[in-house]
């Protein structure tokens, strides 16, 4: 049977001294650079130095800093989540350190961001992104409590407080069907681009099928071309509504429609998701509003429970059985708007 890895093994793999490894695992990384911290944690993960890595989290958990990996802060949904998490974390007597990845990095920058947060010796990490797979997150962060915020998650070892995107897709499908629409276009994107977009679209299409509404998929990417394709497909196939997976895509579609003399909703209706951008009420965009504040406050409360539990585990006898993660989903609500009307007369059959 192979022997368990030791601190000496980790030090050799990370290119540092044993005393440096000891300071990371036993003293919360005191006087250790962020780069060395990252190398040591990566080496420990590769070698399977799991028990000591978890136990060493005790020193870190006495800290008051929490980390947040955020996706594309230019998106109002992420910007609002950032603000609400800051409020909730400050109310809990802690501080929040955030790292932002951008929309088109497809997960690479997110993993690098997680490494940077770990190097800052945070006590726990929130992940607010729709791209990196939960399995990759679990492999990247093992020394501190990790929680997914905003996006649905079922990983057995990662807690989450999320928006109920399955319900959101179904709610919007019911709203569209209630206005009499029976043939609609749905803008879709690859799973790698956004797991949230994919889940919204799939649940909406499933509910439309149950309601007798025909859906025609239209490739979203690149967005500037995708919205034009949707308008062209809607006109060619006499579709009465275009479903956008997020509000900023719906806004791009409204711009493209205006540039081509296509009236919304007189010629075609459109809807989005998120409901958080400034001025959406003035535009009258029909959308689903995310319950950002409630999700943020629930996430911080659960993180406090995880920190207490993790400290108790580190102080008590070793255990081989990890507790099952808790997954909470919070439902938002439909915001009616002028962009979703009844089917135009010329499209009624």
Choice among 7-21, 118-132, 258-272, 315-329 with the minimum mean pLDDT: 315-329
Packing angle, helices 34-47 and 18-26, rounded to 10 = 90
Q: What is the pLDDT of residues 251-310, one digit of tens each?
A: 999 999 999 999 999 999 999 999 998 889 899 999 999 999 999 999 999 999 988 887
Q: Say if residues 348 and 306 touch (Cβ distance below 8 Å).
A: no
Does the pLDDT value for residue 211 go beyond 90?
yes
Lowest mean pLDDT among 22-31, 114-123, 260-269, 321-330: 22-31
Look at residue 239 and tell me whether its pLDDT is greater than 60: yes
- Judged by DSSP in three states, 91 sits in helix
Q: Are strands 269-271 and 241-243 parallel, antiparallel or unpaired?
A: parallel
pLDDT of residue 319: 45
| DSSP single-letter state for residue 278 | T
Instruction: Kindly state the average pLDDT of the residues 127-141.
Output: 76
Average pLDDT over residues 43-63: 57
Q: Which residues sit opposite 214 in a β-bridge?
A: 183
Query: What mean pLDDT value characterizes the chain?
Result: 85
pLDDT of amino acid 61:
43
Q: Looking at residue 8, what is its pLDDT? A: 87
* Mean pLDDT, residues 134-157 taken together: 83
Least confident among 60-74, 275-289, 309-323: 309-323
Q: How far apart are the first and last CA of the chain?
A: 73
State the Cα–Cα distance between residues 280 and 262, nearest whole angstrom. Answer: 20
Structural domains in the chain, sorted by start: 7-163+293-319 (3.40.50.2300), 165-289+334-347 (3.40.50.2300)
pLDDT grade, residue 74 (50/70/90)?
Answer: confident
Q: Check residue 134 and give its pLDDT.
A: 79
List the one residue out of 106, 22, 121 whose CA is nearest residue 71: 106
d(CA 134, CA 139): 9
Which pLDDT does position 38 carry in this prediction?
Answer: 83
Q: Using an 8 Å Cβ cutoff, are 274 and 290 in contact?
A: yes
Q: Residue 46: pLDDT above 90? A: no
196 pLDDT more than 80: yes
pLDDT at 318 over 70: no
Q: What is the mean pLDDT of residues 221-229?
A: 96
> Strand 287-289 and strand 333-335: pairing?
antiparallel
């Amino acid at each position: 049977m192979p022997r368990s890895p030791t601190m000496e093994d980790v030090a050799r793999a990370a290119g540092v001294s044993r005393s440096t490894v000891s300071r990371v695992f036993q003293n919360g990384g005191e006087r250790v650079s962020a780069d060395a911290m990252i190398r040591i944690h990566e080496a420990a993960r590769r070698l399977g130095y799991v028990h000591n890595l978890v136990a060493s989290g005790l020193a870190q958990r006495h800290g008051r800093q929490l980390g947040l990996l955020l996706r594309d802060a230019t998106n109002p949904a992420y910007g609002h989540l950032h603000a609400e998490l800051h409020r909730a974390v400050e109310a809990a007597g802690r501080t929040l350190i955030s790292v932002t990845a951008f929309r088109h990095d497809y997960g690479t920058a997110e993993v690098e961001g997680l490494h940077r947060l770990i190097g800052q010796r945070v006590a726990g990490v929130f992940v607010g992104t729709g791209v990196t797979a939960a399995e990759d997150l679990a492999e990247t962060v093992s020394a501190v409590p990790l929680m997914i915020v905003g996006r649905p998650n079922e990983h057995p070892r990662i807690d989450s407080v999320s928006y109920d995107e399955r319900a959101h897709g179904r709610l919007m499908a019911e709203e569209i069907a209630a206005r009499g629409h029976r043939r609609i276009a749905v803008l879709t994107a690859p799973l790698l681009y956004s797991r949230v977009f994919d889940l919204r679209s799939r649940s909406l299409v499933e509910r439309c099928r149950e309601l007798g509404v025909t859906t025609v998929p239209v490739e979203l990417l690149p967005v500037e071309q995708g919205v034009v394709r949707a308008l062209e497909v809607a006109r060619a196939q006499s579709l009465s509504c275009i479903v956008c997976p997020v509000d900023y895509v719906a806004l791009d579609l409204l711009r493209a429609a205006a540039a081509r003399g296509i009236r919304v909703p007189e010629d075609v209706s459109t809807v989005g998701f998120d409901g958080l951008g400034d001025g959406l009420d003035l535009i009258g965009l029909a959308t689903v509003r995310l319950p950002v504040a409630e999700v943020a406050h629930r996430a911080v409360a659960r993180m406090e429970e995880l920190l207490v539990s993790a400290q108790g585990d580190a102080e008590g006898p070793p255990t081989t059985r990890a507790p099952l993660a808790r997954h909470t989903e919070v439902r938002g609500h439909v915001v009616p708007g002028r962009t979703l009307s009844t089917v135009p007369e010329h499209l009624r059959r």
